[in-house]
Amino acid sequence: MSEAKNWTDICNLDDLVDNSGVCALISGKQVAIFKIKQQGESHFYAISNWDPIGKANVLYRGLIGSVADKTVVISPLYKQRYCLTSGECLDDDLQHVDVFGVRVEGSKVQLAVA
């Protein structure tokens, strides 16, 4: 059985910068939100801002890249790559970050919260 999702406004769409991240505090937890522009289309991702290897809230500051067909953020600390759709760490199978649903409604960016 899946959990029902509630959508909460995080920021305005124009608060986001193409191919970059921002950080938001949601229920006491930092979330990194990314707007990635590829081939003229904008894609939105949200993951935990906590880098489990570097032990710091820094992922929103990471570099955006791709590995094969995966869009990743590269931690600014030790350079591990985290998939923005699954949260898996491509460099350490034992590590991962939480992934959140994100959508745009009108001019608002919203995050799915359980």
Task: Give me the pLDDT at residue 4, please.
Answer: 55
Average pLDDT of span 74-78: 98
Please state the CATH superfamily assignment of the domain spanning residues 17-113 in this structure.
Rieske [2Fe-2S] iron-sulphur domain (2.102.10.10)
Query: How sure is the predictor about 3, in pLDDT bands with cuts at 50, 70 and 90?
Result: low
Average pLDDT of span 48-77: 97
Instruction: Render pLDDT for 19-41 as a digit per residue (tens, 0 to 9).
Output: 999 999 998 999 999 999 988 99
Share of the chain above pLDDT 70, in %: 96
Q: What is the DSSP string of 1-64?
A: -PPP-EEEEEEEGGG--TTEEEEEEETTEEEEEEEEEETTEEEEEEEESEETTTTEE-GGGSEE
Q: Indicate the pTM of the whole model.
A: 0.92
